[in-house]
Structures are given as structure tokens and as C-alpha cells.
Amino acid sequence: MPEFKYSNAEKEVEMYGYDEVIKSHCRMCHGGCGVHIYKKEGKIEKIGGDPDCPIAHGTLCPKGIASTQIAYHPDRLTHPLKRVGPKGSGQWEKISWDEALDTIAEKMNGYKKEYGAESILMGYGTGRDNESVIYRFANLLGTPNVLTAGHLCYGPRISTSVITCGSIPVVDYESQPDCVMVWGNNLVIANSDEYKGEALAVSVDKGSKLIVVDPRMTRLAARADIWLQLRPGTDTALALGMANYIIAEELYDKEFVANHVHGWDEFVERVQDYPIDKVSDITWLPEEQIKEAARMFAEADTAGIQWGVAIEQQINCADNNRTLIALMGMTGNLDKKGGQVLFENAKNRNASEFGAHKLLSKEQRAKRLGGDRFRLAGHFAIINPKCAWDAILTEEPYPVKMAMFISSNPVLTRANASEVYKALEKLEFMAVADFFMTPTAELADIVLPASTWLEMDYIGDFWKRHGYILARRKAIQVGECRSDHEMLNELGKRVGQEEYWWDDFEGGLDYILEPLGINFQEFKKMDYIRGEVNYEKYKTKGFSTPTGKLEIYSTMLEKWGYDPLPKYVEPHESPISKPEMTDKYPFILVTGARSPGFFHTENRQLPWLREQHPDPFVEIHPDTARRLGISNGQWVSIESPRGKVRQKAKIFEGIHPQVIGAQHAWWYPEKKEGNYGWKESNINMLTDNSYESCDPAMGSTSVRTLLCNIYPEKQGAK
């Protein structure tokens, strides 16, 4: 266990006159980056990267550097609030924590008694390391309905990996892969779960071959040896076509396939449906380019696939992930040093165990919204959001009367925003915990002030699959803000869960660490703990699947009534599936490109970050812009069958002339009238959440591949 140390930070304390330096780990996005927090007279003066951090090695993104601008922002929520006017009126009254928690507990107990615990919806956004605590509270309460981003972000990777090979495969950048195929991910911007962009950048600098699959020219695509600019939504066809070619050319690992794969013969037969010429027609990619990329990946001694949310936010979500795992396995790169490793966690209690999933009764589990429709998602306690909105609006299959959202802004982040807003307006009671007032919080009855990562002790990354746990140390206290863990620890006691919570949440941290034989105070003296690193564990233990093998043919999906083999399905809304729409909506809309300064809906209040990116922009190819009479920087309207929004045109050669690339999660904290302009540039006003457009097993919403039109905005229009 590495000892706690400050490295060069002590010199800076002496040189620049800081009073104190605190070693911690950032959580402005997906977390894990080590930091030094410099304080003077009790206030944070600066945040810098920790060169001893084994994950980020001293690198830090703009969000991490700007963390103090959240903590000390003048608009920060610092006291609990109670709404005293109509929803959305902006009329609030300060109240005590006791009144706030007592009110929420009274409502929860009342709805549970009258309508059942399932009438209460818990929700959280892209993580603040709070998911296991929220699931613990929900499971003990008896509600199976926890609304997360898990149906379309990271959850599909976990779910499909568990049923296919037992755990999520993580690229082993420490061992320098010979080839990395980046698929639907912009790691150097996104710093996705388990990863930091620095690791990939260093790997490429040292000579790793780079293949990038993306319809947009990203920073990574610009560096790639091969850039596969495919038609949006056709990823699974491309992956199956690569598998077809690798098999035909006998480039696969015959020993691994013979001894460790379940369903190989059936898979070989399936990929015959995806010859390269057919895949070329589907994806818009030249045949030779597909072959070249497949050969480069398969012939590398060690190779990994860096995958991201873009491939999950579409109708082929589960099959896409399964096919990529198949590519890892058939080329002999699964659990291989320098390939895609199934890392083992430290022997602490994991997030699932802490989340008390086993304590939710079978009867209540059966009531999970959408469970029969999306059985893979339901198996992992994930629900499709539309199932929740429908239950609120129609009271079928039963009424949903109350919601509590923590670090979540679904009015901006969930598909078909108009329907989301309508559902949240109808709720009889809603509580929201956040850093700032948001378009979602404005619809709440009680708003709770949440702590940032700078204001809490916690065990960072203990839910991830890279094997590390990291000590997050509290540096400051702002107002009456509380961490999500602290507020649920107290709320749990008020709703009858006293025996499962602690005097204060440090007891929860001790509980997580207990199997390691240490407590949190002891862990705070350490830098990190990592699980034991072993490779090719399947040779002695097999894979943690029903057959003990890599299940390219999924016995679990077969049991649930789905096709056990991956296949390609045309997106629900595309020029191929809906040709009748193309006269009115001639362009393919992709959404969700990452920005260095923003984390989904967050940080648009922060001067350092907003100055870099003051307005939302939509990428348009120069030929398309010229034909439509659109100039760079001009406000334009983007329209789909669901609605219309405005963003600024960015003329961009790195996108296909038939594709439009818009940004997501835009709202305007400075526009307090009209609920912060939540409709104005919110791309989810355009996205589709119909059940037919979702992945049939995972329920993933197709927010990345749609049809749209775009045209210059009339002068003066808003």
C-alpha cells in the first residue's frame, strides 16, 4: 500500500506561502485524477495535478482547475430551500436541514403507505460517486425504480460485459498496446470511466497504432493511422464486417477460439450476413479501408478497443458492445497484457454489495418499470426513462407520485425534453439536490444544497473496474452544503432504515473498507490501494459466465427471449428506414460531442469555462452551409419531428455533408426568466424516446442518430 506523500507540493507551500496543501482526487467529471489543493487562510487558492497519481500522473483538465469556481460561486446553493410559489416561479424560502429532511421523509412514508414504495422514483445523473448510496437507500425503501443514465451510458458496457465475459474489459495502457481502436469515444476530451486521455495520448506518442471510428473528425481522428468516418448508427454492421474479414483471412486466435469461446460456429455463420461489400454500402466506408483496419487490429501482437457512449446511445447498443467484445476475444486480446484486461478490484466491499441490491424483495423487484420490456437493463436494476414518464403521466402500470433527483438535470439530459418537463410538472412532490438551481430544480418542492468533491471525504472510484480505490479528502465547508452520502444517511434514518445507516457517513466508508482490515482514517494516510493484477485468468478460472467461456452466443439473452447472437438493425430514424421523411428532414443529426469545459449540463456558470465556449454550436460541412446560405457563427434553427432549437453554425470540414453535429445539454443560467432558457438550445427537444427507437434489451435511447433539417434563423428570432 503506497504511503501518503506530497511530493513537490511541499516546496510550493514554502515557496508561495500557502498555509496547507491537501492531497485528494478530483470528481469534476468521471473522477480519479490526483490533485493537490492549496489553501491560504482557510480558502482554496489553487488546484494542481498530483504527479504521483497512478491514473492521471499530474495532468488535470480545465474542469478540475476551475473547481473552486463552483465551490465559491455567488449563485451556489448553500441552504435548503422550500418552494413558496407555483412550479417554475422562482419563489423560494430558506429552511433548515431538519425541516427539509423531515418534509421529504413524511412524503416518502405517506406515498409508500398509500401507493406502495414503487410510487417513489429515485434518480441520479452521470456519477458523483453516489450511485451505490442511492441504490442502498432505494432498495431499503423498497422502490425498484432508480432513474439513472445507465440505460445509455456505461451501464450497457457493464451489463453486456458481465453476461459476455464476466466483467468489463479495460485497455491496458500501462503495458503499451501495439494498436488501439477508438470507437465512438473522444478520450482526450471525455476522460471516460476507467480512463484518462493522457494514457492514450502517451501510448500513441510511444508508437501505438491508432484506428478511430467516428463520423466526426476529432483530435484523435486527426492523429489516427486509419480514420473510419462511418455513417452514424452503423457501428454494429462495421464491427460484424470486420469479424467477417478476420475470420475469412484466418487472422483470429485459433487456440483461444477453440478452448474459450461459446458459440463460435454460430457466430461464424452469422457474420456471413455481413460481407465487406454489403458493409461498405451500409457504412459509407470504402471496402479497402475496412479491410485495412481489421487487419491492423487483428495482426497486432497486443490490441485494445477504447469504446464510448456514442455506440451505446442507439438501437444497436447491446449488440454493438457484444460484437466489440467478440473482436477482443477472437483476436486473443481479452485479459491479455497490453490488450483488454479484466482487472480485479481491491478486496473492499463493492458498489453492488454496498447498494444492498439483495435486500430489495423479489415482489418489489418484479414491479420495476419496463422490466419485462427491457430485460437486460432490468437484470441490472436499470430502467428506461420513458417508462417513468409514462407512469407519471398515465398512472400505468401504477401511479408514480414522487421523485428525488440527486446530481441530475433530466429536463436537459433525457430524450424528448418536452415530455420530461410535462411529467416532472405533474409529480405531486419532488426533491432535488444540486450545486445550483437548474431547470429541473425549479420544478421541485424542496431543493437541497449538495457538496462538491472539495467538500467531502470519500473513497473515490471504488465502483470502477480499473482496480484502484482512491482517498478523497475534505478540504473546505461551504455554507450548509452536505454530500449526497450524508443527506441520504440522515434521510434513511427518518424513513425507517436506522439499522442500515451510521451515526455519520464515515461509518459507511469504514464499512466499504472493512474487508481490507482498515478504516477510513487509516486509508486517508495512503495514496491509493489497487487490486492484484493478473493476466489470462481464464486459463485457470474460466470466465464468470454460465458456460465459463466468452459467450459470443449469449445464453442469458437466449433465456430472456432475445437473439443470442449480435446483429445489425438499421436506426429507427434514418434515410434508409424512413425515406419518406427525407424531403422534410434531409440530414442525419448526431449529438453529444464533448467539450473540455462542460460535463453534460454542468459548468455553464463558471467564467473560466464559459468564456472558452460562450454559445452552443452545430457543425455543418462547408458545402452544406454554402448551399443553405449559412455563414460561420450565424444562429440557425435545427428541427426534427419533435421540436426546434437554435444553435450557432460552426463550419467544419470534418463532418459528412449529409451529417449535422449538434451539442447537447445547453441551458442558460444567466436567463433566470423562463426557467433558464431550457427549451432554447436544448438538443433533447429534438431527440426521440419512443420505445420502438430504443435498444430492445437495454432500453438505450437513440439520441445520437436522428433525422433533422437546418436553416438560417430569421433575423431577430429567438
Task: Note the pLDDT tens digit of each residue in 363-385.
Answer: 999 999 998 899 999 999 999 99
The C-alpha cell at 279 is: 458493409
Q: Confidence band (pLDDT; 50, 70, 90) for 194? A: confident
pLDDT at 155 over 60: yes
Residue 635 within a domain = yes
Of the chain, the percentage scoring pLDDT greater than 70 comes to 98
Residue type, 452: T
The whole-angstrom separation of Cα 265 and Cα 272 is 11
Residue 257 within a domain = yes
In 436-542, which ranges are continuous DSSP H helix? 484-494, 506-513, 520-523, 538-541
Q: Confidence band (pLDDT; 50, 70, 90) for 1? A: very low
Mean pLDDT (whole number) for 623-634: 98
Distances from the Cα of 285 to the Cα of 208, 209, 228, 305, 306, angstroms: 23, 20, 7, 19, 20
Q: Confidence band (pLDDT; 50, 70, 90) for 638? A: very high
pLDDT at 2 over 60: no
Residue type, 558: E
Same-domain check for residues 491 and 583: no
pLDDT at 237 over 70: yes
Same-domain check for residues 239 and 317: yes
Residue 686 within a domain = yes
Of the chain, the percentage scoring pLDDT greater than 90 comes to 91
Same-domain check for residues 139 and 188: no
pLDDT at 536 over 70: yes
The whole-angstrom separation of Cα 195 and Cα 56 is 9
The DSSP code sequence of 276-324 is HHHHHHHHT--HHHHHHHHHHHHHSSSEEEEE-GGGTSSTTHHHHHHHH
Same-domain check for residues 141 and 177: no
CATH number for the domain including 610? 2.40.40.20
Distances from the Cα of 242 to the Cα of 180, 609, 652, angstroms: 15, 40, 29
697 Cβ contact partners less than 8 Å away, ≥ 6 residues apart: 318, 374, 375, 376, 377, 557, 560, 562
Average pLDDT of the chain to the nearest whole number:
95
Same-domain check for residues 251 and 133: no
Mean pLDDT (whole number) for 707-713: 97
Distances from the Cα of 169 to the Cα of 76, 304, 410, angstroms: 39, 9, 29
Assess contact for 570 and 692: CB atoms under 8 A: no
Residue 348 within a domain = no
Same-domain check for residues 114 and 243: no
pLDDT at 586 over 90: yes
The whole-angstrom separation of Cα 472 and Cα 488 is 19
pLDDT at 511 over 60: yes
pLDDT of residue 3: 43
Q: Confidence band (pLDDT; 50, 70, 90) for 528? A: very high
Residue 381 within a domain = yes
Residue 366 within a domain = yes
pLDDT of residue 15: 72
pLDDT of residue 200: 94
Mean pLDDT (whole number) for 278-287: 98
Same-domain check for residues 374 and 496: yes
pLDDT of residue 60: 93
pLDDT of residue 715: 63
Same-domain check for residues 555 and 583: no
In angstroms, the first-to-last Cα distance of the chain is 58
Same-domain check for residues 102 and 202: no
CATH number for the domain including 119? 3.40.50.740
Residue 82 backbone phi and psi in degrees, to 5: -120, 130
Count of domains forming the chain: 3
Same-domain check for residues 700 and 665: yes
Same-domain check for residues 209 and 251: yes
Mean pLDDT (whole number) for 19-44: 93
The whole-angstrom separation of Cα 296 and Cα 516 is 43
The pTM of this model reads: 0.96
pLDDT of residue 30: 86
Which one has a higher pLDDT value, 75 or 7? 75
The C-alpha cell at 713 is: 434563423
CATH number for the domain including 186? 3.40.228.10
Owning domain of residue 85 = 81-149+362-453+461-466+481-516
Q: How many CA atoms lie less than 13 Å away from 589 in the CB half-sphere?
A: 32
pLDDT at 718 over 70: no
Q: Confidence band (pLDDT; 50, 70, 90) for 4? A: very low
Same-domain check for residues 232 and 320: yes
Mean pLDDT (whole number) for 307-336: 96
Q: Confidence band (pLDDT; 50, 70, 90) for 5? A: very low
Q: Confidence band (pLDDT; 50, 70, 90) for 229? A: very high
The C-alpha cell at 583 is: 424531403
pLDDT at 717 over 60: no
pLDDT at 16 over 90: no
Residue 178 within a domain = yes
- What sign has the CA pseudo-torsion 675, 677, 682, 687? positive
Residue 59 within a domain = no
Task: Note the pLDDT tens digit of each residue in 459-470.
Answer: 999 888 899 999
